[in-house]
Structure formats: C-alpha cells, structure tokens
Structure 1
Amino acid sequence: MNMKKRILLLSFLFTTMLAGAQSYGEIGLFGGGSYYLGDLNPGSQFLLTKPAAGAFIRHNFNERTAIRGSFTYGTLHGDDAISKVNTNRNLNFTSHISDISATFEFNFYEYFIGSLRHFVTPYMYGGASVFFFNPKATYNGVTYELQGLSTEGQGSSAFPERKAYKRTGFSIPFGIGVKYSINSFIGMSLDWRMHKTFTDYIDDVSTTYYLDLQGMTPGEAEPFEIASDPGLNHNSGMQRGDSKYNDWYSFVGISISLRLNYLERERCLNVFY
C-alpha cells in the first residue's frame, strides 16, 4: 500500500470515528470541601474539611473519554489537639491552597449530556497539577506565617543541609465520581479527588526539632521559637515529623456543568440515544 492510499485510509477511519462520536465541550462550577493528610493527620479521611470552590472546562472526545482543566481554591487545616496523634507536640496549621489541574477522564458507560440511554455513569480520572500554599499557625491568639520562620532550622548553621521549602508544588491528582445528565444542556457530578504531592511541608512539619527549648517559659521565647515548639518541651534532635511520607490533599464535592456544542447543529447517528 503506497503512502497516498495510507493517508486516505487513515482519513476515512478518523472521519468515521468523529461521525459516531458525541464530541462537545462543557464549562462548569465546583463546590464542596478540602482537607489534608500529613504529619498532623496521618490517616483520618475528611477530618477538618473546609469549604472549597472552583471552575473547570471539559472537552469530551466521545461518550467514554474526556479531558478537563480546572482551578480549585480551598483551605487545609491540621491540629494535633483535634487529631490526637501527638498532643504533646501541640502543633497546628492552616493554609489556603490554589490548585490548577489537567486530568484525563474515562466513563464506564457511554455517557453524554442529553443521553436518554446512559444518563448516569461512574467515572475515574487522573493527571497532573501545580498548587500554591502558605502554612500559618495560631498560638495564644497570635498568627505566624511559618515558611519564613524556618521552624526546623532550614538554612541555619546547625542544619545547613536543610533548605527552605518552596510554597509551590506539583501533585498527581486522581479520583472517582458519578456523572448525571439532568437534561439536554446541564449535567452534574459528584466526585472525590486526591492529590499525591512531592512535598512534606504543606503543614510545615517534616523532620526534627533544632532548638533546645525544654524548660523555657513563654515570656522568654521568640516568635520563631514559639512557632517551632509551642509547648517549649523539646530539644534539638527530638522527632517533630515523619519525613518518610509526603503530604496529601483532597477535594470532594458537586459540580454543575453546561454543555457547549462546537457546531450549530449536531446530529446523533445512534437512534438508541
């Protein structure tokens, strides 16, 4: 088969695929909650969930596959006094998080907005994202911005190998959900999205204490000492976090989307839809 015939055959196959596909776009809004897993909450799903919201755009290649770009904004919170993991440590943090994700979606059924046959389907997805965070903590009514205080000795002469962490990171988002077609133009979904990150400092906790503060009184302590060890009951080298495991964050909620047809008139060749 010569090159010209191959090109004609590929063109025919591509055109045939498009003729039977429901290719269209969507724009939508997300509302729900966000939470984190890390040193201050190693394993309790949905603990201290805070409000989250976002927007997204989706391109559906066909009834099975789609890509989605999204922006989500939420709040992450952790507190030893609530999780009860290490009450002697008595650390807490709060961080706003902004996430920009691109994910590939797979529908278990041949779903599209407006379908009368498969108007509901489970789906799963995965991709990549970049996120921005800035952990803060509140002790005795005073709020501290933690990254600049080097609470584990980052950049100090005692621990020169510890570098200041960045407040921008990359993650691998993946999740599951259910899509539902309300009518010919509007769809909704319920989904749970988890993010595996490559940093252990979303909560500003990772390694060991670097100061000898045991026995010091609060009136003697500097702000960076309070932020590092609010109980003033640890010495240098004592365990503060667990650097073996990086932090995670998650979003869970409901999305509403509006169908956008790319052509003025779109025909469906399958009478069962």
Structure 2
Amino acid sequence: MNKITLILFLFLFGFAAKSQTLEVGGFVGGSYYIGDINPVYHFQQTSVAYGIVARYNLNSRWTVKLNGYKGELKGDDLITRYLPDRSLEFTTELYEIAGIFEFNFLPYFTGSIKNFFTPYIFGGAAFISARPQIGNSDLRDFGTEGQFNSFYIDETRSKYSYFNFAIPFGIGIKYSFSKRVSTSLEWGLRKTFTDYLDDISTTYYLPANQIGPGDDDYGDLVRSDPNANHLPMQQRGYSKYDDWYSFAGLTITYKINLTNRNKCSEFQEKY
C-alpha cells in the first residue's frame, strides 16, 4: 500500500505543476462488487469507501480528474442466495488509482454565478490492487481452485495477480457552492480484467474430506470452502465473465489558484 500511495502523490504533484487552477478534495461513499457470488444486485453488501481527488477543468465542458480510492468488496452466498448451497464468502480490500475524463452536459465553472450546475458522464482507466481474504488469511494462498497445487489434475493453473487494470465509467452531477467550493455526487462502475476479485472463477480441485484439522489456518480454510459435498472438477464459479466493482458517493473539492488571477478566471466567476 505504501508504494501505491507514493505513486498516487507523484501523479497528483505532476498534475498540479502543469495546472493554473486545480481543484483538490476528498471523496466519501460506498463500494460494492458484482461477480460470481453477486451477479445481479447493485449496492448489495455496500461498504464504506473514501479517497482523494484532483481535478483540472480544461474548459466549461471537459475536466480531467485523478483519484485515489480505497474500498472494501464483500460477497456471501448466504446473503445473496444466488447459490446458497455453495456457501462461499470473501472480503477484498481494494485500492484504485484512476485517470478520468469528465464531460459536462451544461457549461460549468467552479465559482460561476450562472454556470454552477451540470450533470456529467465520465470514463477513463484505473490501476487496482485487490486482495481477497477470509478471516485473516489470503484466499490466494489456499489455492482454492488448484492454483500451483499438485492435487490439480493437469497442474496448469497459476496463481492470480493482486494487481490489475479496470475501466471506470459512470454518471454524476456537479454543483458549485461558492467561488472555490464545489461538490459532486456520482455513481461509477468498473469493468475489470480479472475474475478473481472474489477468489472464485472455475472448478473445485480438492475433495472436501481432504481438508483436515491438522492443516494450517484450518478455520479459515474451512470457511473458504465450507460445502462438505464438493468434488474435484465440480463447478465453483463461471470464468466466462470477469468481475466488476463500483464506487458511489460524494466529492467535495476546493479550487486553488496556482498562478496570479487572470482575466479568464474573473470572467468565469461573473458568468
């Protein structure tokens, strides 16, 4: 996490160095996941999310935004009831660094008397870190689908990466409260390129009766695959579709003039 934080601040520093005015602030809201445990229901098992934001308005319609968000993704078969007999669950701590373009449907300037409100859409690219866990244990270490484990029949599955890319997109509304303070409310989805935000993708590899009390982290191991009736090669997930996640919430930013005020900024405040 320290490396991710350092990268984020380097991005924001470089961003600020080339901007005449910059909006910086914070985000607070919720995060949730769509995948093998919850394939349908948005906002189910939503957890608290937060982060930092830097915005640069290219003009009245286009905005460039950099954000660093932290959220938690959860899934539980006994809650979603999609496949309750499978009884799988997970919790994933997720970090996101994203570069995003926003398009305002109406002319908008922070501090404007006239152009102080607009709905908008956004899209961009993100780098994410996601580590699915059960209890205090990383699910990847268990090799729940035979990753790097001799029990798996063809020994070809490799462990998945904690680091991946995502495509964020969504909708929102902006409102300027004063000459310097702006707020936005948005909902965004993230299409990822991994099916392992939840540690579930393909098939079982190990009969349940081979999980014994003598194994390390036995309690978490049993929770990771609690169905005592599964067999090797029995379907565990659906690998055809990758996982998704979402951030939704409120952003408040403060406009900073990095150079002396100019006629352009005075014009924006009047109109």
Question: What TM-score comes out, normalization by structure 1 length?
Answer: 0.85
- Residue of structure 2 equivalent to 1:144: 137
Is this contact kept in 1: 2:112–2:270, CA < 8 A? Answer: no
CA distance in 2, matches of 1:56, 1:271: 22
The one-letter amino acid of 2:65's match is R
The correspondence for 1:155, drawn from 131, 148, 157, is 148
For the aligned residues, what is the CA RMSD?
Answer: 2.1
Return closer, same or farther for 1:87/1:258 CA change in 2, 3 Å cut-off: same
CA distance in 2, matches of 1:33, 1:159: 41
Deviation digits for residues 132-170 of structure 1, max 9, x if unmatched?
Answer: 1111124xxxx4320111000011232422110001110
Report how far residue 220 of structure 1 moved. Answer: 7.5
Matched, 1:212 2:213: no
Deviation digits for residues 24-55 of structure 1, max 9, x if unmatched?
Answer: 32001000000001001001000000000000
CA distance in 2, matches of 1:128, 1:202: 18
Is this contact kept in 2: 1:123–1:179, CA < 8 A? Answer: yes
The correspondence for 2:56, drawn from 56, 59, 68, is 59
Deviation digits for residues 238-261 of structure 1, max 9, x if unmatched?
Answer: 110000110011100000000122
The correspondence for 1:172, drawn from 167, 186, 193, is 167
CA distance in 1, matches of 2:121, 2:226: 42
- Residue of structure 1 equivalent to 2:230: 234
The one-letter amino acid of 1:266's match is N
- Residue of structure 1 equivalent to 2:45: 48
Return closer, same or farther for 1:221/1:102 CA change in 2, 3 Å cut-off: same
The correspondence for 1:258, drawn from 245, 254, 260, is 254
Is this contact kept in 2: 1:144–1:227, CA < 8 A? Answer: no
The one-letter amino acid of 2:50's match is A
CA distance in 2, matches of 1:103, 1:260: 20
CA distance in 1, matches of 2:85, 2:214: 20
> Structure 2: which 5+ runs fail to align?
1-19
> Structure 1: which 5+ runs fail to align?
1-22
* Corresponding residue SS for 1:233: coil
Question: What TM-score comes out, normalization by structure 2 length?
Answer: 0.85
CA distance in 2, matches of 1:271, 1:104: 23
Is this contact kept in 1: 2:179–2:269, CA < 8 A? Answer: no
Deviation digits for residues 44-77 of structure 1, max 9, x if unmatched?
Answer: 0000000000001111111111111110001110
CA distance in 2, matches of 1:83, 1:271: 49
* Corresponding residue SS for 2:208: coil
Is this contact kept in 2: 1:189–1:256, CA < 8 A? Answer: yes
CA distance in 1, matches of 2:245, 2:160: 17
The one-letter amino acid of 1:167's match is Y
The correspondence for 1:182, drawn from 159, 162, 177, is 177
Report how far residue 97 of structure 1 moved. Answer: 0.5
* Corresponding residue SS for 1:77: strand
Report how far residue 227 of structure 1 moved. Answer: 5.0
CA distance in 1, matches of 2:137, 2:47: 20
Return closer, same or farther for 1:259/1:225 CA change in 2, 3 Å cut-off: closer
Report how far residue 217 of structure 1 moved. Answer: 8.4
Residue-pair matches, total: 247
The one-letter amino acid of 1:85's match is Y
Query: Bigger radius of gyration, 1 or 2?
Result: 1
Is this contact kept in 2: 1:66–1:105, CA < 8 A? Answer: yes
CA distance in 2, matches of 1:162, 1:242: 15
Report how far residue 212 of structure 1 moved. Answer: 2.0
Report how far residue 228 of structure 1 moved. Answer: 4.9
Report how far residue 270 of structure 1 moved. Answer: 7.0
Return closer, same or farther for 1:25/1:44 CA change in 2, 3 Å cut-off: same
CA distance in 2, matches of 1:227, 1:154: 18
Report how far residue 218 of structure 1 moved. Answer: 6.6
The one-letter amino acid of 2:227's match is G
Report how far residue 221 of structure 1 moved. Answer: 7.1
Deviation digits for residues 53-108 of structure 1, max 9, x if unmatched?
Answer: 00011111111111111100011100000000111110000011110000011111
